[in-house]
């Protein structure tokens, strides 16, 4: 047992030391795919061999794949999340990871109990290969450096009233003059804008057209308080422009 754990730990340490080198030469998606294949090869080798030496080498490969996948996804989740929501994103990520570990332990433990350990190891290898194939169909999106970064400092508009942080509700209206030939493109942009504003806290978003002046459009949304309005604008990122 000590030899097997030493093999796993050696692979994990090697992957941790070499992680930055791997990331400079390979994309996150390719690293994830290779990690899944490495872990699948480890499981399949353990199912087929009775040699301690071969099993230790297989576990070294599995340890390297495990560390590379775990650290890579964790870093990607943090970097791809806007700063204002990164705490919630990480908590959801770890909840899913822990839930997946618990579910996987139950599934393959049940298979091993009802059939054999060989079946469980072969099944887990097949599942890992399916994850690698899924990466071809649904690849991890590469993040651009500026995407989660907030926009430049937002200057609150000058208002006649002395608003308090909890003053509200705040209703925002933005008027547009749009030529008839540009209406379709404008509506496409407004659909994206509605999604963006709803994501950062806007409520009751509407887009209205003046029947007397068809070129005039009015976008309206609401926030519960003045503080919520300021937060909404600070939550917008470069990719939302």
Is-contact 34 65, C-beta < 8 A? yes
Could you give phi then psi for residue 142, rounded to 5 degrees? -75, 135
DSSP state letter for 211: S
Start and end residues for every CATH 3.30.70.100 domain found in the chain: 170-240
Per-residue model confidence (pLDDT) at position 108: 93
Q: What is the pLDDT of residue 147?
A: 56
Model pTM score:
0.70
CATH 1.20.1250.20 placement within the chain:
2-137
User: Consecutive sets of 10 residues in the chain, 241 residues long: mean pLDDT of each?
Assistant: 92 90 84 92 93 94 92 82 83 92 94 93 94 86 61 76 89 94 94 90 93 95 92 78 63
Which pLDDT value is given to residue 237?
A: 77
CA angle 17, 22, 20 (to 5 degrees): 50
Q: Which two tokens stand for residue 14?
A: 């090697």
Can you give the pLDDT at residue 23?
82
**CATH superfamily label, 2-137:** MFS general substrate transporter like domains (1.20.1250.20)
Q: What is the pLDDT of residue 99?
A: 94
Rounded to an integer, what distance in angstroms lies between the CA atom of residue 4 and that of residue 61? Answer: 12
CA distance 113 to 105: 12
Whole-number pLDDT of residue 145: 52
Q: How confident is the model at residue 235, as a pLDDT?
A: 82
The Cα 165–Cα 189 span in angstroms is 31
Where does 170-240 sit in CATH, by number? 3.30.70.100
């Amino acid at each position: 047992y000590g030899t097997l754990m030493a093999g796993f730990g050696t692979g994990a340490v090697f992957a941790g030391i070499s992680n930055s080198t791997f990331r400079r030469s390979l994309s996150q998606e390719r690293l994830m795919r290779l990690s899944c294949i490495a872990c699948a090869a480890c499981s399949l080798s353990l199912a087929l061999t009775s040699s301690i030496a071969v099993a230790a080498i297989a576990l070294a490969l599995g340890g390297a794949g495990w560390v590379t996948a775990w650290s890579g996804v964790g870093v990607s989740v943090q970097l791809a999340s806007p700063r204002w929501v990164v705490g919630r994103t990480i908590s959801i990520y770890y909840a899913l990871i822990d839930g997946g570990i618990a579910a996987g332990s139950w599934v393959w433990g049940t298979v091993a109990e009802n059939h054999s350990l060989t079946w469980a190891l072969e099944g887990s290898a097949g599942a890992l290969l399916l994850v690698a194939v899924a990466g071809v169909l649904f690849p991890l999106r590469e993040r651009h450096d500026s995407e989660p970064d907030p926009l430049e400092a937002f200057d609150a508009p000058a208002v006649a009233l002395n608003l308090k942080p909890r003053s509200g509700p705040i209703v925002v209206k933005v008027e547009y003059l749009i030529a008839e030939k540009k209406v379709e493109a404008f509506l496409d942009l407004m659909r994206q804008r509605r999604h963006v504003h709803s994501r950062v806290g806007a409520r009751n978003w509407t887009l209205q057209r003046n029947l007397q002046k068809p070129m005039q459009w009015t976008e309206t949304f609401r926030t519960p308080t003045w503080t919520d309005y300021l937060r909404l604008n600070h939550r917008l990122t470069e990719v939302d422009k």
